[in-house]
Amino acid sequence: MKVATVEQFKVLEFIKQNFEVEKVSLELLNRYSIKVTDKTGQSLVFKYSENTILWEQGGSL
């Protein structure tokens, strides 16, 4: 996946460290957030904010 912002890059690095990215679907939502969806359709949205990675189940931060 190619990201467009530094914030997305930081989120993607966090996701790569904590998930098997080849087993999930990734979607860029905005300049700060990436949505991760597994094979069952469950999803988490990860957002970079104030030097911290935040996440929320199924919604968008």
CA–chain centroid gap for 48, Å, is 9
pLDDT band per the 50, 70, 90 thresholds, residue 58: confident
pLDDT in tens, 4-40: 999 999 999 999 999 999 999 999 999 999 999 999 9
The band of 61, judged by pLDDT with boundaries at 50, 70 and 90, is low
d(CA 49, CA 21): 22
Q: What is the pTM of this model?
A: 0.90
Put the strands of the sheet holding 52-57 in their side by side order. 25-28, 33-37, 43-49, 52-57
How many CB atoms are located within 10 Å of the residue 3 CB?
16
One-letter amino acid at 45 equals V
